[in-house]
Amino acid sequence: MMASLLEHMGMEKDRVQFSWISSAEATKFATVAREVAQSVEALGPNTKFVKGSD
């Protein structure tokens, strides 16, 4: 619901992501981290909810 409200308020959907990764799931962690980094890079620098940017 929090992600949904943020999206509703105009945050890009991919900026906030959730995942559940066990300490034994190193591969999953690496994959998810890479995906998150890629999707955030695609969005470019964040200017929303950043003080001084407005």
Partner 1 sequence: MESYTEQIRTLAVDLLKSGKVDVVIGYRKGSVPMATVPFMARTPEQAKQLTWDSHCTLNLANYLTNRQEKIGIIAKGCDSRNIVNHIVENKINRDQLHIIGVPCKGMVNPKELQALLDDKIVSYSESGSTLTIASSQAEIKIEREDHLRDNCSLCTHRNPVIYDDLVGEVVTEPVLDDPFKDVNAIEAMDTDTKWNYFDDLLDGCIRCYACRNACPLCYCPTCFVDESDPQWVGKGQNETDIKTFHFLRAFHCAGRCTDCGACEAACPMDIHVRAFTRKLIKDSKELFGWEAGLDISKRPPLDTFAPDDPNDFIK
Taking CB under 8 A as the rule, does residue 46 contact partner 1?
no
Taking CB under 8 A as the rule, does residue 10 contact partner 1?
yes
22: Cβ contacts below 8 Å, ≥ 6 apart? 28
Taking CB under 8 A as the rule, does residue 41 contact partner 1?
no
Q: Could you tell me if 6 and 16 are in contact, meaning their C-beta atoms sit under 8 angstroms apart?
A: yes
The tally of CA atoms less than 13 A away on the side-chain side of residue 27 is: 0
- Smallest distance, Å, CB 31 to partner 1? 9
Residues binding partner 1 (CB under 8 A)? 1-6, 8-13, 17-20, 32, 35, 48-51, 53-54
